[in-house]
Chain A
């Protein structure tokens, strides 16, 4: 399968491979059949695997989630597609109160191998409810695993690994990166919950995930022109977080800036900053800074660029951190 693939195609290949290797894997969601999903991630799968494995569901997100839980109880491995980030909230109760807790409530007697695929975050000029970053809600809930790839290779392997996991996984797909291409087919993929040093550096660690990893690469390239050697760390997994890799990196560079699209207040950056303060206090040359969205509803698309962290906003933070 080596070659350049878009993230969208890599995800499609991962689903195909999972459907082939385990007859208990079923896909469920709105418009995932003939249409192949609104982003075409399930393109061609119903044609090849049939309506019983690639199920077009009624338009009821709680219904999709709740019946996926029932299918898992019957021994199936459902992969649910939520059409857009902002439409997962009707299923939120089933996810946090049922899916996340079933294994614990049964004292381990049942497993919940359910993967919830959600195209998330902004940057595509969409109308409201189509650009939200809700990872903190899910990461805050014990029992859920939350992951997000930033490139095609991770998209492929991480989706396959999520489907194989016996735990429920919230699989967040950075929708504005769907069409970015990359090499897919690394022989030895990282474990699902490992963070990755995407670009090694010595002066400061940019911690990002999903759609912001690309922005951070651009920031590092720009900073390099000014003679600063930045490290880019792609978290990949938001629950659990591979703190060992994060801490090792920050202890080495002495500085960290966390970048995400979600509002800064109470977000992933808050967790990372607090943690780094605790664990790396004597190594830090500067406070851990955060760059992210504002405490406001995701704005109309004509002003979303002002909401989203971009090259300049991240560079400002980098400058501030380096100035200490």
Chain B
């Protein structure tokens, strides 16, 4: 059976592509919640939300921000070697993360702590790499959340291959590949677009355009709005307000359904902003203006949802106090968890190099062990 006929055998009809997703005119930024906290409707991306759902999203945003802040302080305290903060990108990550179904799979870069949160990955798992005790370490298949990938754009291909496998399985799942605006220039991301497009693979490319790739602005990566890249590859692209958790949720949900229906990939450009430094090693004052950061502060993802909740009278004092308490708890758990994270035994070096025995690794491990043992009880030597 061909890839296409497998897709057809699933006998589903693709949701129609919204009118505003196109190539000729630049569509508006899809927005369902204004920076002032006004709820607005979009004809193509209707979203019904119960008060409980809004409160749950608010809780996600607050806890994710808290986790991130805690990790940043832990880096400052020398407990982590490095941290890549998601500050400002909470809505893009929580909105898209909450749009996923259980069987869907996420392929993150290194900043998707909010997506990991939505996939129920223990936040402490994310810190091993930054503390230097492993290179990832968790089982990606446990929560359908792949390992962080440092080489820019590589994971877009892994996501696409995984999605090709979903098609072969005739399964109903979809994949999200996360990457940044800088990564959009990489060959691998463009090759992923080609593969996903020609094989109709159920993958949503979720580009968080946080305006900067370390010190390089998006204008160094592209002369056209990023979402429009998709049209050259033959699939829809859409730009969503990345600081609007509701719009990110609605658009990603639509895109995942579009992809899983057999209609092929979608590119979502979440238009957002990295409020902090690229990583804790970065100094953004060297390359960007304070006014720019201030302007984006007014679009903060959490305060705009809070404004909506207040306007609509959703959530009582007990709820907000509860979230506050929970976030204290989370901070404490992360702090203690990191501080008590043991260094691995040095023989970790030789573990999992291969799945099957490899003579050279076995030999070098034995050499190392003998060498290490020569230090124990040194007086005997």
Q: Which residue of A lies closest to B107 (CB)?
A: A70
Whether B284 sits at the interface, judged by CB under 8 Å, is: no
Q: Which residue of B lies closest to A143 (CB)?
A: B353
Please, what's the 1-or-0 string for B147-170, where 1 marks a CB less than 8 Å from any CB in chain A? 101010010111111111110110
Whole-angstrom distance between the Cβ of B112 and the nearest chain A Cβ: 16
Whether A286 sits at the interface, judged by CB under 8 Å, is: no
Chain A-chain B contacts (Cβ-Cβ < 8 Å), number: 160
Contacting pair A243 B359 (CB below 8 A): yes
Contacting pair B162 A60 (CB below 8 A): no
Contacting pair A73 B188 (CB below 8 A): no
Chain A residues whose C-beta falls within 8 Å of the C-beta of B141 in the assembled complex: 109-110
Given A70-B158, A71-B164, decide whether A105 and B356 contact each other with a Cβ distance below 8 A: no
**Which single member of A98, A101, A104 contacts B158 (CB below 8 Å)?**
A98
Whole-angstrom distance between the Cβ of B119 and the nearest chain A Cβ: 15
Whether A197 sits at the interface, judged by CB under 8 Å, is: no
Roughly how many angstroms separate A76 CA and B171 CA in the complex, as a whole number? 14
Roughly how many angstroms separate A71 CA and B195 CA in the complex, as a whole number? 13
Contacting pair B191 A60 (CB below 8 A): yes
Contacting pair A73 B358 (CB below 8 A): no
Contacting pair A62 B191 (CB below 8 A): yes
* Stretch of B47-55, B131-139, B236-244, B325-333 contacting A (4+ beta carbons < 8 Å): B131-139
Please, what's the 1-or-0 string for A32-72, where 1 marks a CB less than 8 Å from any CB in chain B? 00000000000000000011100101101011011111111
- Complex interface residues of chain B between 329 and 368 (CB less than 8 A to chain A): 351-356, 358-361
Contacting pair A58 B165 (CB below 8 A): no
Q: Which residue of A lies closest to B159 (CB)?
A: A70
* Stretch of A150-158, A198-206, A234-242 contacting B (4+ beta carbons < 8 Å): A234-242
Contacting pair A97 B355 (CB below 8 A): no
Whole-angstrom distance between the Cβ of A171 and the nearest chain B Cβ: 15
Whether A133 sits at the interface, judged by CB under 8 Å, is: no
**Which single member of A60, A66, A241, A244 contacts B154 (CB below 8 Å)?**
A66
Contacting pair B157 A69 (CB below 8 A): yes
Roughly how many angstroms separate A131 CA and B183 CA in the complex, as a whole number? 33
Contacting pair B360 A93 (CB below 8 A): no
Whole-angstrom distance between the Cβ of B166 and the nearest chain A Cβ: 7
Contacting pair A193 B359 (CB below 8 A): yes
Whether B198 sits at the interface, judged by CB under 8 Å, is: yes
Contacting pair A71 B154 (CB below 8 A): no
Contacting pair B355 A73 (CB below 8 A): no
Given A70-B165, A101-B135, decide whether A145 and B192 contact each other with a Cβ distance below 8 A: no
Contacting pair B353 A62 (CB below 8 A): no
Whether A165 sits at the interface, judged by CB under 8 Å, is: yes
Q: Which residue of B lies closest to A112 (CB)?
A: B355
Whether A111 sits at the interface, judged by CB under 8 Å, is: yes
Task: State the majority secondary structure of interface residues on B.
Answer: helix
Please, what's the 1-or-0 string for A102-124, where 1 marks a CB less than 8 Å from any CB in chain B? 11111111111000000000000
Q: Which residue of B lies closest to A110 (CB)?
A: B140
Q: Which residue of A lies closest to B197 (CB)?
A: A58
Roughly how many angstroms separate A243 CA and B136 CA in the complex, as a whole number? 33
Given A93-B154, A103-B354, decide whether A66 and B2 contact each other with a Cβ distance below 8 A: no
Contacting pair A109 B358 (CB below 8 A): no
Roughly how many angstroms separate A109 CA and B140 CA in the complex, as a whole number? 8
Given A66-B191, A93-B151, decide whether A73 and B139 contact each other with a Cβ distance below 8 A: no
Given A101-B135, A103-B352, A145-B354, decide whether A70 and B164 contact each other with a Cβ distance below 8 A: yes
Contacting pair A51 B154 (CB below 8 A): no
**Which single member of A70, A108, A167 contacts B162 (CB below 8 Å)?**
A70
Q: Which residue of A lies closest to B128 (CB)?
A: A107
Contacting pair A63 B164 (CB below 8 A): no
Whether A302 sits at the interface, judged by CB under 8 Å, is: no
Contacting pair B1 A50 (CB below 8 A): yes
Whole-angstrom distance between the Cβ of B138 and the nearest chain A Cβ: 7
Contacting pair A73 B138 (CB below 8 A): no
Q: Which residue of A lies closest to B147 (CB)?
A: A105
Chain B residues whose C-beta falls within 8 Å of the C-beta of A69 in the assembled complex: 157-158, 161
Roughly how many angstroms separate A142 CA and B147 CA in the complex, as a whole number? 19
Whole-angstrom distance between the Cβ of A167 and the nearest chain B Cβ: 5
**Which single member of A63, A101, A108, A240 contacts B192 (CB below 8 Å)?**
A63
Whether A75 sits at the interface, judged by CB under 8 Å, is: yes
Contacting pair A62 B195 (CB below 8 A): no
Chain A residues whose C-beta falls within 8 Å of the C-beta of B169 in the assembled complex: 74
Contacting pair B352 A108 (CB below 8 A): yes
Contacting pair B140 A63 (CB below 8 A): no
Chain B residues whose C-beta falls within 8 Å of the C-beta of A67 in the assembled complex: 157-158, 160-161, 164, 192, 195
Contacting pair B165 A75 (CB below 8 A): yes
Contacting pair B2 A73 (CB below 8 A): no
Roughly how many angstroms separate A68 CA and B165 CA in the complex, as a whole number? 10
Roughly how many angstroms separate A66 CA and B157 CA in the complex, as a whole number? 5
Chain B residues whose C-beta falls within 8 Å of the C-beta of A97 in the assembled complex: 151, 154
Q: Which 6 A-B pairs have the closest CB atoms?
A: A70-B161, A66-B157, A74-B165, A67-B161, A63-B191, A109-B139
17 of the cross-chain contacts (CB-CB < 8 Å) are: A52-B3, A60-B191, A63-B192, A63-B194, A63-B195, A66-B154, A66-B158, A66-B160, A67-B160, A67-B192, A67-B195, A74-B169, A76-B168, A103-B352, A105-B136, A167-B356, A240-B359
Chain B interface residues toward A at CB < 8 A: 1-3, 6, 134-142, 146-147, 149, 151, 154, 156-166, 168-169, 187-188, 191-192, 194-195, 198, 351-356, 358-361
